[in-house]
């Protein structure tokens, strides 16, 4: 390979396929804030937090029980929104006798051209009315000494 070809190859390696420059400051994604388990009432809003860092800024996608979560960006009728921070916001928790579309195990995945990072699992459970009633009663009893 001649000197001109070496310079050309080196120049091509300096640029990414999409035209952006590969810089030494670029870094693989990492999860800076993992989601936590939630117990939420049916119909209430909820947020599963996820914060990812990396350079360039990674894109974040959510998966529930191994399946990609559809958000309002994908379907305007969706009750789930991907926030700019990377968190998954539920306008209301949907839960019925036959269908439990929000209950399950969630992970967030952050990606950039250098790789991907996967968060810890977080479970979202829907509280039944009897659980909520007992929780309120027990928390009220905790205020009294016998």
pTM surpassing 0.75? Answer: no
**Cα 88 to Cα 86: distance, rounded to the nearest angstrom:** 7
Cβ-contact 86, 51 below 8 angstroms: yes
**Cα 92 to Cα 47: distance, rounded to the nearest angstrom:** 10
Cβ-contact 108, 31 below 8 angstroms: yes
For the residues of 111-122, what is the DSSP string, one character each? Answer: EETTEEEEPPPE
Give the pLDDT confidence score for residue 134 in this predicted structure.
47
Give the pLDDT confidence score for residue 20 in this predicted structure.
57
pLDDT digits (tens, 9 = 90+) for 22-44: 677 999 999 999 999 999 999 99
38 or 74: which leads in pLDDT: 38
């Amino acid at each position: 390979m001649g000197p001109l070809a070496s310079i050309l190859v080196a120049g091509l390696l300096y640029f990414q396929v999409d035209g952006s420059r590969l810089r030494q400051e670029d870094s693989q994604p990492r999860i800076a804030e993992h989601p936590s388990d939630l117990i939420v009432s049916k119909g209430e809003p909820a947020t599963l937090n996820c914060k990812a860092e990396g350079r360039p800024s990674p894109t974040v996608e959510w998966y529930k029980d191994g399946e990609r979560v559809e958000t309002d960006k994908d379907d305007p009728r969706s009750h789930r929104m991907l926030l700019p921070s990377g968190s998954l916001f539920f306008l209301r928790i949907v839960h019925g006798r036959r269908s439990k579309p929000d209950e399950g195990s969630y992970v967030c995945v952050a990606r950039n051209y250098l790789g991907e990072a996967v968060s810890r699992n977080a479970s979202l459970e829907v509280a039944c009315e009897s659980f909520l009633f007992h929780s309120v009663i027990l928390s009220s009893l905790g205020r009294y000494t016998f």
